[in-house]
Homo-oligomer: A and B are copies of this chain.
Amino acid sequence: MSTPPDAATIARLSLHDPAHFGIQHSQTLHRLALLQHWNIATDAKVLELGCGQGDCTTVLANAVGEGGKVVAVDPADLDYGAPYTLGQAQGHISQGPFGSRITWVQQPTLDYLSSLQPSSSSSPVFDATVLAHSLWYFASPSLILSTLSAIKQHSKRLHLAEWSLAATHPSAQPHVLASLTQAALECRKENSISNVRTVLGPKRLTELAVAAGWKLESETRVQAGEGLLDGRWEVSACLDSSFEEEVEEQVKDGRERAVVLALRDACEASLGGIEGGQKGVKTMDIWVANFV
């Protein structure tokens, strides 16, 4: 039996800027930490929804081994994403050692799920379905509900990971505020293309999963690793001058606009106590849950 590849080896399978390998490495380490709570079996057939550039897909492909399979679905255009597009990133992974274990699907999640053959509840197509940091990309809570309901027809288990809205370290509080600020703006747009569209905490996501027929088996909250820069990225997006301009454009009602701007200002104010200011911002905790 060969030694399983370590985080650095898996991270190198993704298309990355070698000058900033640390960023890719931290993202892979983070997915490996999530995986510890999911218990994905060797040879399992796993559905991943919202795979994006495949940061979690490689980790899942590693976990299921040569006998397993990952179907990785993302509705985004293949030319979406920076510095590499989804098409470039996914193509690169396909050419690597895990390529044969992964099937990429570029399709709206619900369309993909409804294209599957109806399965008897005793033998669903997938052993497990994973949504790792993809729930906040959904357009609305009702779309999350429909999706979780559709998954119930085709998967034995459901594994979720999402930002928890909780910050164990006070320096991660700006990340919480930046997410809420973005959510308050994005809910005003007919079509959002932000990283942060529908912000729901663990309580609301669990309510939706239960309403979709799932039963919560276990949940936990993990602190973000030091190298994870998501907090800094979101705070930067929220404090960028273009954000304020967008608020002016998109939120016509003065009272509603005041709420979004107050959120933004609270995010900025929360940097006050942080050593290094914006550069000292940490990433908030992550909620990890298993449903059956």
B204–A265 CB distance below 8 A: yes
A170–B168 CB distance below 8 A: no
**Which partner residue on chain B sits nearest A256 by CB separation?**
B187
Question: When chains A and B are docked, how far (Å) is the Cα of A187 from the Cα of B203?
Answer: 24
Question: When chains A and B are docked, how far (Å) is the Cα of A258 from the Cα of B203?
Answer: 11
Query: Which residues of B are found within 8 Å of A164, using beta-carbon distances?
Result: 269
Q: Interface size for chain A: under 10, 10 to 19, 20 to 34, or 35 or more residues?
A: 35 or more
A270–B166 CB distance below 8 A: yes
- A218-262 interface with B by 8 A CB criterion: 253-259, 261-262
Contact with A255, one of B140, B165, B263 (Cβ below 8 angstroms): B140
Give the interface centre of A139, A183, A203, A263 by most chain B CB atoms within 10 Å. Answer: A263
A266 at the interface (CB under 8 A from B): yes
A270–B199 CB distance below 8 A: no
Name the distance in Å between A277's Cβ and chain B's nearest Cβ: 13
Query: Which residues of B are found within 8 Å of A259, using beta-carbon distances?
Result: 180, 183-184, 187, 199
A67 at the interface (CB under 8 A from B): no
